[in-house]
Amino acid sequence: MTVTPQSAVDPMLTHPCVLRAVTKETPDTFTLTVESDIGEGGSSFAPGQFSMLWVFGVGELPISISGDPAKHNQLVYTVRSVGQATHALVSQAVGNSVGVRGPFGTGWPTDGARGKDIIIVAGGIGLAPLRPVVYHALSNRKEYGRLVILYGARSPRELLYRKELAAWARNPETQVLVTVDYGGLGWRGHVGVVTTLFKYARLQPTHSVAMVCGPEIMMRFVTRELETHGLRREDIYLSMERNMKCAVGFCGHCQYGPYFICKDGPVFRYEQMRPLLEKYEL
Amino acid sequence: MENLERIIAEHPFFEGLDSEFTKLMVSCASNVRFKTGTYILKEGDPANTFYLIREGNVAVEVFAPQRKPIIVATLSVGELLGWSWLLPPFQWKFNARAIHDVRAIALDGKCLRTKCEENHDLGYAVLKRFAQIMEQRLEATRLQLLDVYSVSR
């Protein structure tokens, strides 16, 4: 079951938050840390949820929360600079204010996964909304079985959180497998798409929950691979992405079949998404 | 020989293969090692061998003039390296380099081709396994070509 926490504040009200740090992850991707009192007295978000970030005078963007859910006084976002608004966002100076609405949407099934292995499959920037799950699972290690992380990126320089990936791999009962589509000569890791990592993964398919985030094409192939390896459809979850504007299901911009990605998602059970993923019109 | 037979039988590529066929293949097999950085096979050279990787990693590379070689795939423990020995003109199409020290079983392609011609049941069993690997790698290559993580997507 996915988590659907409710925001205590007016969902349309932008909350000004001070930008405390900007870290360059890759040539075009940055991680922003903002100070937040949204979660005072409890966790500010559920892993998998997103916020609407407002760059004053430029526009508003839906960005997944990529930080540690146990850190209540801050929100962390990993943003790829691909357009005017994202470029403006990552170019903000530390100390500036950024508008934050949310958090919104459903989260990953961290409660439903208790006692089971967690299989995380991420592609490119898709690792960002899954990082809170990793933090949560590692801080509550005894509550979960094995943690298997399969991560693919375009090239070594486009890998997110490289130091953390190495650190996660040192944890007990944690397997981290990383691959790139194009490796340079200096790269001594794996080259190939993320689905080629499955043959090295130590999986217990009937005792696992899989959480997948990345480009839709990748997710289609990954779900196929998970099923081939014996994962049940009801144990597979996907994070979907569409053009989200209001974030509360009013405007309809992010409608995907019978669902609003912002309100009913972004995390869905694979069973819900499967018929839609096969529709050319969507 | 007994040891080689066991290793071949236990390698994932030949999992479930009839023990009679495994016995036939042992006479074409030998243990090999490659140090890190060594080229195991080179584009254009005669392809007379294939390898069952037991330890280490191998980069499959394409040589591009005036550029550094491009790694198109990596192969690891339990995987198979090389199928050009199976089809004419029996020449390698890529380079393969040991990224980490490699231990493998080398199977003499010429020897195995002869045995497959003599015993078509063996030939069919071997070909079925190679076809599956080819299908898996073709799918992976197609996905790779889609460049799914690019900004334009």
In angstroms, the CA A150 to CA B96 distance is 25
pLDDT given for residue A249 in this prediction? 85
pLDDT, average across residues A7-28 = 85
Query: Domains, chain A, ranges and CATH?
Result: 15-104 (2.40.30.10), 117-239 (3.40.50.80)
- Looking up tokens 């079983």 gives B105
Report the SS3 class of residue A1: coil
Report the SS3 class of residue A226: helix
pLDDT given for residue B152 in this prediction? 56
Segment A116-138, tens digit of pLDDT: 999 999 999 999 999 999 999 99
Superfamily of domain B2-146: Jelly Rolls (2.60.120.10)
pLDDT given for residue A250 in this prediction? 85
Percentage of the residues of chain B whose pLDDT score is greater than 70: 97
Q: Considering CB atoms only, which of B57, B60, B149 is closest to A215?
A: B149
pLDDT, average across residues A248-257 = 87
Domains of chain B, residue spans? 2-146
pLDDT, average across residues A3-17 = 70
> A192 and B74: CB-CB below 8 Å?
yes
> A191 and B79: CB-CB below 8 Å?
no
pLDDT given for residue B56 in this prediction? 96
Name the E strands within chain A.
Answer: 15-26, 29-35, 50-55, 59-64, 74-80, 97-104, 117-123, 147-153, 174-180, 190-191, 208-213, 236-239, 255-256, 259-260, 267-269
pLDDT given for residue B123 in this prediction? 93
- Give A221's contacts in chain B (Cβ within 8 Å): 139, 143
On average, the pLDDT of chain B sits at: 90
Is the pLDDT at B1 greater than 60, yes or no? Answer: no
Segment A191-216, tens digit of pLDDT: 999 999 999 999 999 999 999 999 99
Is the pLDDT at A107 greater than 90, yes or no? Answer: yes
Report the SS3 class of residue A241: coil
pLDDT, average across residues B17-39 = 92
Is the pLDDT at A280 greater than 80, yes or no? Answer: no
A271 phi, psi to nearest 5 deg: -60, -35
In angstroms, the CA B125 to CA B48 distance is 19
Could you tell me which residue, B149 or A81, shows the higher pLDDT? A81
- Give A187's contacts in chain B (Cβ within 8 Å): 71
pLDDT given for residue A42 in this prediction? 54
CB burial of A1-31 (b: ≥16 within 10 Å; e: otherwise) equals: ebbebebeeebeebbebebbebeebbebbbb
Cβ of residue A83 closer than 8 Å to a chain B Cβ: no
On average, the pLDDT of chain A sits at: 90
Confidence of residue B153 (pLDDT cuts 50, 70, 90): very low
Report the SS3 class of residue B129: helix
CB burial of B104-115 (b: ≥16 within 10 Å; e: otherwise) equals: bbbbbbebbbeb
Q: Which of A8-22, A162-176, B6-20, B61-75 has the highest mean pLDDT?
A: A162-176
**What pTM, to 2 d.p., does this model score?**
0.88
Confidence of residue A277 (pLDDT cuts 50, 70, 90): confident
C-alpha to C-alpha distances, A274 to A3, A186, A250, A252, A269, nearest whole angstrom: 20, 39, 25, 21, 9
Among A104-113, B93-102, B111-120, B139-148, the least confident range: B139-148
Segment B42-87, tens digit of pLDDT: 999 999 999 999 999 999 998 877 777 889 999 999 999 999 999 9
> B73 and A192: CB-CB below 8 Å?
yes
